[in-house]
Structure 1
Amino acid sequence: MDATGIKSYFQFQNVDWQAMRSATWETIWMTVVAAILVVIIGLLLGLLLYQTRNSQNGLLRILNWIVSLLVNVFRSIPFIILIVLLLPVTKDIIGTIIGPKAAIPSLVISAAPFYARMVEANLRDIDSGVIEAVTTMGASNWEVVTKVLLPESKPALIAGATVTTISLISYSAMAGAIGAGGLGNLAYLDGFQSNNNTVTLVATVIIACIVFIVQFIGDRWVKAIDKRTI
């Protein structure tokens, strides 16, 4: 296809740029809010899984098994199916199943287990000798968590949060296909269903730019705090 053919195929004058800006903001808003909640919940779940994995306490072992089972179950459900299954829950929590706010519960429930497993894996990579040394010196569990586990794994946790946030961007696009708003919704309704390939193209480019920006910020952040970086 030559330049003339491309120009005729993509009609940029048919793009509603105001709607595109609004959809971009909705995607960013959904991603940021969901990412914050996912990091908090995933961090807590990951710490719980790590701290109870070898516990001699029967109740803690049962708790570990239950949490691990739930994490594995929700990780295994495809997002597009999960968001449909959670429609009644979303309706009860948010009051609606349409719009950016309605996508938040599904985004969080789908991504938090994924990040929790990443947190657990990163904590397991910490040198056990360091933990034993701190424990021998009389440190409490809280001090071990705040002064050893989290500081030592911070670069890996941030890198994992970056990967999870990028996944949330793609999830938000899928959520848009069933009325959650954002660039995915715009690309589906105004692009695909209206046979307007230009809208789909522009929405795709904007999503790709958001992903690149998130990855760049995450990489720079990790590089700035990683003590192993030379």
Structure 2
Amino acid sequence: MNNRILPGAKQFITQNADRVAIVSNNSTHLPADLGEILAGHGVALPSDRIFLAGVEALRSVARSGVSRVMLCAAPRMRGFARSLGLRVVQDNPEAVVLMRDAHFTYRKLERAANALRQGARLIVANADRTHPGPYGRVVPETGALLAALLACVDERSVEPWVAGKPCPMLFERACEGLAITPEEAVMIGDNPETDGEGAARLGIRPILIGGASHLSLLDLLEPVAA
């Protein structure tokens, strides 16, 4: 995650105030972390209107009644899991929870694969294989780790549950947070496969900016009265 915001983002959020929620496949940070970054740019957005794949995946696991989890994730997320009452273990878990893990190792891969072979459920924050990095580089994401893990098991016997876009949960949570229906929402994003497809599946109108789109966030700002 970089600490930059798009041109026009501050003005757009300010203009729309209570009508904005953020949904992101981020699985290494908490909403308060992103709230602090936005605040540093002069953007005020409550953390309860920031919905992140990693956080929502762990909340869903905690609500399901699972208590023992093998968590492949950043230390920040392990601490959050424990705050939800989840017990983070290395052996005999009820579920393997997979997120972006910059310290993923062969040993973790071995333990997770064998846990799945023994019947543990697989919960995945997002299926993105990469995300853009600086200078045109790519950063391996959770989906790359998922591909390695599924290569070690019989895929027919493992059905991952994915929290992030394009799956519906983040969009549903955002609509609940704004107290609106999907039909009353629009999704502004830059990725047609996650933002666009995911929103459309739920009946949310997608508006794509950047990339192949001719629109930018600046085009969506309300005109300022002279």
Q: TM-score, normalised by structure 1?
A: 0.26
Query: Which structure: greater helix fraction?
Result: 1
Which of structures 1 and 2 has the bigger CA Rg?
A: 1
Q: TM-score, normalised by structure 2?
A: 0.26
Query: Which structure: greater strand fraction?
Result: 2
